[in-house]
Structure 1
Amino acid sequence: MLGSRSYFSAIGPAAATPVLAAERAALRAVFPNGIVEEANALDLTVTLRPSASS
Structure 2
Amino acid sequence: MAAFYGPTGVRTLTYGADKEFTDREPLDSQYARYRLTAEQIVDDIDKLL
TM-score between both structures, scaled by the size of structure 1: 0.30
Task: Indicate the structure (1 or 2) with the bigger Cα radius of gyration.
Answer: 1
TM-score between both structures, scaled by the size of structure 2: 0.32
